[in-house]
């Protein structure tokens, strides 16, 4: 384990993740206060998700050619630019132009987020070295879980920070402060990260939409449905439900979303203690199938309770917190499998890019459906739509290979 490299990569990822979560809350709550409808709020994030698709596909190829440290630096710089630019939106502008302007800025933020995520996640496979003990797979699962879990916990902190900043210092100052935080991380990476990471001499793949590993393709499709299922109820439907139906304050909404994502991150970090995987066993398929099925059953029950208005406030709060635990275990397993299914280290960046492109497509559909389903039938409609996505995720998990080839 190259501790210095892992620390720099993780620290940079943390800074961007914190500001990414804060930016989401600042934009969502600010424009909701200005009178934007649920569908209009969904559109504010569509370009963010769409650019994530392209960034992951082509960013993986760029990272493999130029080195992951270069794509990491580019991601941080673009985030600073996006945060500063979006701060200049003016409430006096018409809705159409405001939506266009914010979507454009969010597009750059989406590029930044996914360049940084792809670079950081791919880099872990290169800093976790084989030590002759035959335990690289279990150590890889551990360190991927630490990276992704801590990232998600900090994104939850970002939700709280964003709502608190918006309430205390206002829209523009909030964004300037967030830009300053990422700028500090960028300076540290420029000064200290000298090592070249993940540079490959392989020619560019002919088909960027398809991996040469069938297991990676199936996992990417499952990822689409898994993350689409979450964002269907999480991005727009839940915050608006808490505001309109339960009368929560901005701080209360931000605190709940923060608690959800922080708890999700903590569970994700501890997933290796719950899901113990070994190479050359059938535990991979069994764990993926079991976790995805349990999540599906629980969400069906949750949606039914909400639809029948049974202890709605308690069910929504407690139910979605428990959903977060199950979702975190599924997500952590996926995050490990994308690296484990990639047998050749030269293919890591490209495969991770494809995987996160599928993740971004799922979030794009989930974001759009979040506003549409809430407008159509409220939170219960969003949850039932979520169940359809989770059912597809479970079916695909049945096709995962039973064993992992350790290198």
Position 349 scores a pLDDT of 72
Distance, in Å, from the CA atom of 272 to the CA atom of 278, rounded to the nearest integer, reads 11
Contact 121, 359 (CB under 8 A): no
Distance, in Å, from the CA atom of 154 to the CA atom of 177, rounded to the nearest integer, reads 16
Q: What is the reported pTM?
A: 0.74
Position 275 scores a pLDDT of 67
Domains in the chain, CATH or no CATH each? 3-194+207-397 (1.20.1250.20)
Specify the DSSP element, H or E, that contains 389. Answer: helix 348-397
Q: In the 8-state DSSP scheme, what is residue 190?
A: H
E-assigned strands of 196-350? none
Contact 223, 362 (CB under 8 A): yes
Position 392 scores a pLDDT of 97
List per-residue pLDDT tens for the chain, 407 residues long. 466 777 788 888 889 989 998 998 898 888 888 888 877 887 888 788 788 788 877 877 777 777 778 888 999 999 999 999 999 988 888 888 888 898 899 899 989 988 888 787 777 766 666 555 555 566 677 777 777 777 778 887 888 889 889 989 988 999 999 999 999 999 988 888 766 665 665 655 556 677 788 889 999 999 999 999 999 988 889 988 998 888 888 778 878 887 888 888 888 877 776 666 554 445 666 778 899 999 999 999 999 999 998 888 899 999 988 999 999 999 888 888 887 787 776 677 778 878 888 988 898 899 889 989 998 899 999 999 999 999 999 999 999 887 666 54
What totals of helices (H) and strands (E) does the chain contain, helices first? 13, 0
CA distance readout (Å), 377 to 237, 243, 362:
10, 16, 21
Position 1 scores a pLDDT of 45
CB burial class (10 A; 0-12, 13-18, 19+) of residue 330? Answer: buried
Position 127 scores a pLDDT of 65
Q: Which two tokens stand for residue 226?
A: 């898994």
């Amino acid at each position: 384990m190259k501790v210095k490299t892992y620390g720099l990569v993780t620290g940079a990822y943390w800074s961007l993740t914190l500001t990414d979560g804060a930016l989401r809350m600042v934009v969502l709550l600010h424009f909701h206060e200005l009178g934007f409808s649920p569908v209009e709020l969904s559109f504010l994030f569509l370009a963010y998700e769409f650019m994530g698709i392209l960034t992951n596909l082509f960013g993986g190829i760029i990272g493999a050619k130029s080195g992951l440290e270069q794509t990491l630096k580019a991601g941080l710089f673009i985030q600073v630019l996006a945060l500063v630019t979006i701060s200049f939106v003016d409430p006096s502008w018409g809705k159409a132009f405001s939506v266009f302007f914010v979507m454009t800025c969010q597009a750059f933020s989406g590029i930044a987020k996914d360049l940084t995520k792809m670079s950081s996640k791919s880099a872990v496979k290169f800093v976790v070295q084989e030590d002759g003990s035959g335990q690289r797979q279990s150590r890889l699962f551990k360190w991927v879980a630490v990276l992704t879990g801590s990232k998600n916990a900090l994104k939850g902190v970002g939700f709280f920070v964003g709502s608190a900043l918006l309430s205390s210092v206002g829209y523009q100052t909030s964004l300037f402060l967030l830009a300053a935080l990422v700028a500090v991380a960028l300076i540290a990476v420029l000064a200290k990260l000298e090592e070249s990471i993940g540079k490959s001499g392989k020619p560019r793949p002919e088909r960027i939409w398809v991996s040469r590993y069938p297991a990676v393709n199936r996992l990417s499709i499952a990822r689409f449905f898994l993350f689409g299922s979450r964002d269907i109820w999480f991005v727009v439907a839940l915050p608006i439900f808490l505001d309109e139906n339960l009368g929560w304050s901005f701080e209360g909404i931000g605190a709940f979303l923060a608690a959800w994502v922080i708890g999700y991150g903590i569970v994700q970090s501890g997933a290796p203690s719950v899901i113990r995987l070994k190479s050359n066993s059938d535990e991979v398929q069994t764990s993926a199938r079991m976790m995805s099925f349990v999540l599906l059953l629980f969400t069906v029950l949750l949606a039914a309770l909400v639809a029948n208005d049974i202890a709605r406030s308690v069910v929504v709060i407690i139910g979605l917190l428990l959903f977060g635990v199950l979702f975190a275990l599924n997500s952590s397993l996926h995050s490990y499998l994308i690296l484990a299914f990639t047998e050749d280290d030269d293919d890591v960046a490209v495969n991770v890019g494809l995987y996160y492109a599928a993740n971004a497509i799922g979030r794009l559909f989930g974001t759009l459906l979040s506003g549409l389903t809430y407008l159509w039938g409220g939170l219960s409609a969003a949850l039932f739509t979520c169940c359809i996505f989770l059912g597809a995720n479970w079916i695909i998990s049945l096709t995962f290979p039973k064993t992992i080839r350790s290198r």
